[in-house]
Structure 1
Amino acid sequence: MKKLPYLIIILFFLLFNCSKDETVKDDQTEDISLYFPPINSDTWETISVTDANWNTSEVQPLLDFLAEKNTKSFIMLQNGKIVVEAYFNDHNATKPWYWASAGKTLTSAVTGIAEAEGSININSKVSDYIGTGWTSTTLEQENLITCKHLLTMTSGIDDNYGDAVSPENLFYKADAGTRWAYHNVYVKLQDVVAEATNDTWSNYFNTKLRDKIGMSGTWLNLDNLSVYYSNTRSMARFGLLAYNRGKWNNTQIIPESYFDDAIKTSQSINEAYGYLWWLNGKSSYHLPQTQLQFSGSLIQNAPNDMYAALGKNDQKIYVVPSKKIVVIRMGDAADADNFALSNFDNELWAKINEVIN
């Protein structure tokens, strides 16, 4: 009889470990179920709206809404597979379109890759890589600006001098790290990476990111800015990479720890901003071209765990882990011209929710 307590302890131990093993297997099964399209092929598996357990009756109202809102293309993925794919207004699957500021997340990703390879340190000052005199600030003010300040929009550069990033357009407004302002000065990270790797930005990007996940597209100079153009499925490929925290199939493209930091609040001023990613579900947020702080979530109709790449005139990548979905929208401005966020985001998510809930 004295052995009974020991038998109970052993039995409990075995049951506990079996339970743990089953949990691990369940998690592994979920990872295995995530689909990635082949790299050197246009093939992409699809599932029906019915098989996705979505509301079939709400899909057409969503598509009608998108068509009315100047959309060119729209894709919804579930577990990596295409559930909805539509093209509007004379656009098609092979035509490229600009990412605008949604492409900032590409720069963020490649910056993380370069850091993992030891080429850069995001906490080092920008002038360590591209030399001094890249702004019109004093040397002391310029040397306060690190790569991380560019990633987080806290460079302190005055955002009232247009989009160009030549020295004559980059003036001091505040010490780096003390002010959040949406500014194209982030693009200097591309120069940092090019100098540090002794390569061109485009070639390094293509080799380290684009070609590894089967994207197409190219960087073009538009109004003195580096802007990415691609077809819609290429944007969806990057969205899928972001959904899987920088990992494509079994290959970690963007370092996982860096990507996890990229989709967290990156500074104390704008809770809804990471490393060039927008973050939903925070208690407050700031918007481009204003120093006002707004209360509540960035996009109220969207899930709180969503992170997003948002570009001028409503270029969108929405990533929602809790729903296992990635959503892509390309096109002209839905209503009026905008820099990133617009009323369209909330209206679109009201329609999406009718489909997926």
Structure 2
Amino acid sequence: MRKILSLFVLSTLFSCGSDDSSTPSTPEEQMYFPPIGSTTWETKTIESLGWNQSQVQPLLDYLEQKNTKSFMILHNGKIVMEYYFNGHTASDTWQWNSAGKTLVATTTGIAQQENLLNINNKVSDYLGTGWTSEPLTKENMITSRNLLTMTSGIDDASDFVITSNLTYLADANSRWSYHNVFQKLMDVVAAASNQTFETYFNAKLKDRIGMDGFWDNGIIYKIYNSNTRSMARFGLLALNKGKWNNTQIINESFFNESITTSQNINPSYGYLWWLNGKNSFMIPGEQTQFTGFLVPNAPAEMYAAMGASDQRIYVVPSKKIVIVRMGNASDPSNPNFALSGFDDALWIKINAVIN
């Protein structure tokens, strides 16, 4: 059974107009940011946007059928849709899985703008030599940028990030491979800032945009957990290229790098962000180049945080929308990949509402 948290009419915006037919059109709405430390979050209606109300129920039915726990759409920062399914509530936390990689990328960028590190420097400058089991000459080729772009060349046979598993497979920059070794960036930030990663992340990112949540030690790597609105807050920061209200949390140039093709092997990958609209893409666990867009039915400009079991943040700048989906895997037989056919099928349903 689904619980509808909010789908409100902002009647004061629509019922208090002038009788004068020559009244000028309403100025473009400013981006809204929910207050820090408050549960208040302004809303708007589907009708006010001219979206298709009749297609909402098919979307919700599909989400519920596909094991969704929560779903949100923001427009210009305001909540248009917010639904919870199967007993999940607005206060419940859920794991981001690999969608949380984007939190690590953003925190790394903040550390760079504070001159604590440089992503083009080798990882051993911060962690010391011997952080892998590679020959020293090969280890010293690996930069933090390689960890951000999945081009470290470290063998991806095991997802367990322990030194004995971090063995040589290819030179850095020569191979794209989705691998949990990205989490060594957390160690780089911790060493560079002289504090735990979580302490730095909380002070520089989480608390500044009003997220809740925590990092826990998952079976394979550290996983971020939060409620749905906190995931939406980070999506709103991403929509605004690292700016929250009047404060630039992460500088725009680094964020733009993050959502731009980061290497010449997998054009659909930035700094731990997935990118739509490129000519080809690769998927976790394979070295195949697939032709076409990552999510053909989604807008070409979309960038996304994607995690196993279909944890999603979709960002579409021209439409000023952020979409969040949390839950169990849409297909329980294929829960372990960041990408799935669910994305394309879901976007058919979303398009029917928003277009």
1:313 is aligned, of 309, 315, 329, to 309
| Equivalent position SS for 1:319 | strand
Say whether 1:257 aligns with 2:253. yes
- Is 1:338 aligned to residue 309 of structure 2? no
Q: Secondary structure at the match of 2:236?
A: helix
2:53 is aligned to 56
Q: Which residue of 2 aligns with 1:353?
A: 351
Q: Is it true that 1:195 corresponds to 2:210 in the alignment?
A: no
Cross-structure match for 1:296: 292
- Residue identity opposite 1:249 in structure 2: N
Secondary structure of residue in 2 paired with 1:212: helix
User: Could you tell me how far apart the structure 2 residues matched to 1:150 and 1:80 are?
Assistant: 31
Q: How does 1:38-57 map to 2 (within 5 A)?
A: 38-57=35-54
> Is residue 280–residue 305 contact of structure 1 (8 Å, CA) maintained in 2?
yes
| Residue 339 of structure 1: how far off its partner (Å) | 1.2
Task: Name stretches of at least 5 consecutive residues in structure 2 with no aligned partner.
Answer: 1-25
Alpha-carbon distance in structure 1 between the residues aligned to 2:91 and 2:63: 19
| Change over 3 Å in CA distance of 1:110–1:31 after alignment to 2 | farther
Distance 1:276 1:124, change over 3 A: same
- Of residues 227, 235, 238, the one that matches 1:231 is 227
What corresponds to 1:182 in structure 2? Answer: 178
Q: Which amino acid aligns with 2:320?
A: K
Return the letter of the residue paired with 1:346: D
Distance in 2 between the 1:224 and 1:108 partners?
A: 19
- Stretches of structure 1 that go unaligned for 5 or more consecutive residues are 1-28
Tell me, what secondary structure is at the counterpart of 2:125? helix
Q: Which residue of 1 aligns with 2:274?
A: 278
Aligned partners of 1:31, 1:149: CA distance in 2, in Å?
A: 41
Matches within 5 A, 1:63-74: 63-74=60-71
Secondary structure in 2 matching 1:82: strand
Alignment correspondent of 1:144: 141
Residue 7 (structure 1) aligns with: none
Aligned 8 A contact 1:47 1:83 in 2: yes
Contact 1:77/1:325, CA 8 A, preserved across alignment: yes
Retained in 2: the 8 A contact 1:52–1:83? no
- The 2-side partners of 1:112 and 1:337 are apart by 30
**Cα deviations by residue, 1:252-294 (Å, 9 ceiling, x for unpaired):** 0011100000000000000000000000000000100100000
Q: Deviations over 1:68-123 (max 9, x none)?
A: 00000000001110000000011110000000000000000000000000000000
Distance in 1 separating the partners of 2:248 and 2:218: 31
Q: Percent identity among equivalent residues?
A: 63
CA deviation vs aligned residue, 1:169-201 (integer Å, no higher than 9, x gap) = 111110000000000000000000000010110
Shift of 1:204: 0.2
**RMSD of aligned Cα (Å):** 1.1
- Return the offset for 1:30: 8.3
CA displacement at 1:164 relative to structure 2:
1.2
Q: Which one of the candidate residues 224, 237, 243 is aligned to 1:247?
A: 243
Cα deviation per residue 1:36-61 (whole Å; 9 max; x = unaligned)? Answer: 00011011001011012110000111
How many residue pairs match? The answer is: 328
Q: Give the helix-richer structure, 1 or 2.
A: 1
* Alpha-carbon shift at residue 224 of structure 1 (Å): 4.2
Structure 1 residues 47 and 90: alpha-carbon distance in aligned structure 2, compared to 1, 3 A threshold: same
Q: For structure 1, which segment, 143-152 or 218-227, has the greater mean C-alpha deviation from structure 2 after superposition?
A: 218-227
Structure with max Cα Rg: 1
User: Aligned-pair distance for 1:337?
Assistant: 1.3
**SS of alignment partner, residue 304 of structure 2:** strand
Q: The residue matched to 1:241 in structure 2 has which SS?
A: helix
Alignment partners' CA distance in 2, 1:214 and 1:98: 18
Shift of the alpha carbon at 1:32? Answer: 6.3
How far apart, CA to CA, are the structure 1 residues paired with 2:84 and 2:220? 30
Deviation at 1:338, TM superposition (A): 3.2
Among 200, 210, 216, the alignment partner of 1:214 is 210
Structure 1: distance between partners of 2:104 and 2:304: 14
- Deviation, 1:323, is 1.3
User: Over residues 290-309 of structure 1, what are the superposed CA-to-partner deviations in whole Å (9 max), with x where a residue is unaligned?
Assistant: 00000000000000000000
Q: Structure 1 residues 179, 56: closer, same or farther in 2, change over 3 A?
A: same
